[in-house]
Amino acid sequence: MRHQRTGKKLGRDSAHRRALYANLASNLIEHERIKTTITKAKAVKPIAEQMITLGRRGDMHARRQAVAFLRSKDIVHKLFDEIGPRYADRPGGYSRIVRIGPRQGDAAEMCYLELVDTPLVFKTKLEDVEEREAALAEEVESDEPEAEADDAEPEAEAESAVEAPAADEAEADDEPSAEAETAEPEAAEPEAAEPEASAEPEAEGDAPAKDA
């Protein structure tokens, strides 16, 4: 008895649902990994594996059946020339579902539907992170000598700047001493002029005395 064999309707009529399954199966064969909801992945997984079984058979009748469902000769060509021979020794179980959590927006459970010979999603992510960290470390190491050379130039400029003010200060210290030496004779001249001024009145005072 074929009870409960209708499958998920996915809110679509039969023609729309068949087109959806054909598109998902074609994308899985072409890219070997697709991102979709859990419900759609569970619905299309057996259909995609049936297509891979046709690719394993490889005869003309199987090819015509695949073209009738997938509706793309390029996809069928890859299915029969690459995917089918790859699983020639594997009796079924060509794909797997990897859950990746809810989708932002409607919180639908998302997953990767991928062929079993592709690397796991979390492993590829870890490898990408490690490669990026190694590349960043190499860039930092290559930039360090340049940074040291750039730092050395400001230090030399700072040393020359420190020496220049010191020389200016020494010159400034010498200039006031020379000014002081030239200023001392000028200050001595008024002291010598004072006795002459005081001597004149004395001479004036003596003259009247002699007249008397």
Which among 57, 63, 45 is positioned nearest to 8, based on CA atoms?
45
Q: Report which residue type is found at 66.
A: A
Q: What mean pLDDT do residues 190-200 have?
A: 48
Q: Is the pLDDT of residue 77 over 90?
A: yes
The sheet carrying 109-115 orders its strands as 33-37, 109-115, 95-102
Across 2-6, 18-22, 182-186, least confident range: 182-186
Cα 194 from Cα 183, distance rounded (Å): 19
> Distance between CA atoms of 123 and 180, rounded to whole angstroms?
85
pLDDT digits (tens, 9 = 90+) for 9-34: 999 999 999 999 999 999 999 999 99
Q: What is residue 174's predicted lDDT score, i.e. its pLDDT?
A: 54
Q: Which domains does the chain have, with CATH numbers?
A: 14-118 (3.90.1030.10)
CA dist., res. 190 & res. 46, Å (int): 123
Rounded to whole angstroms, the Cα distance separating 71 from 26 reads: 9
Prediction pTM value: 0.56
Query: Per-residue pLDDT for 123 more than 70?
Result: no
Pair 114, 49: CB distance under 8 Å: no
Closest by Cα among 109, 127, 111 to 119? 127
Would the CA dihedral through 83, 84, 87, 93 be positive or negative? Answer: positive
What tokens were used for 36?
């979709």
- Rounded Cα gap, residues 142 and 24, in angstroms: 46
Amino acid at 46: P
Asked whether the predicted pLDDT for residue 169 surpasses 50, the reply is yes
At a CB cut-off of 8 Å and minimum separation 6, what does 108 contact? 37, 38, 102
Instruction: Specify the 3-state DSSP secondary structure of 101.
Output: strand
- Do residues 123 and 136 touch, judged by C-beta distance below 8 A? no
Indicate the average pLDDT of the chain.
78
d(CA 86, CA 37): 27
Band of pLDDT at residue 170, cut at 50, 70 and 90: low
**Model pLDDT, residue 6:** 82
Q: Residue 65 has what pLDDT?
A: 97
Using the predicted structure, report yes or no on whether residue 124 has a pLDDT greater than 90: no
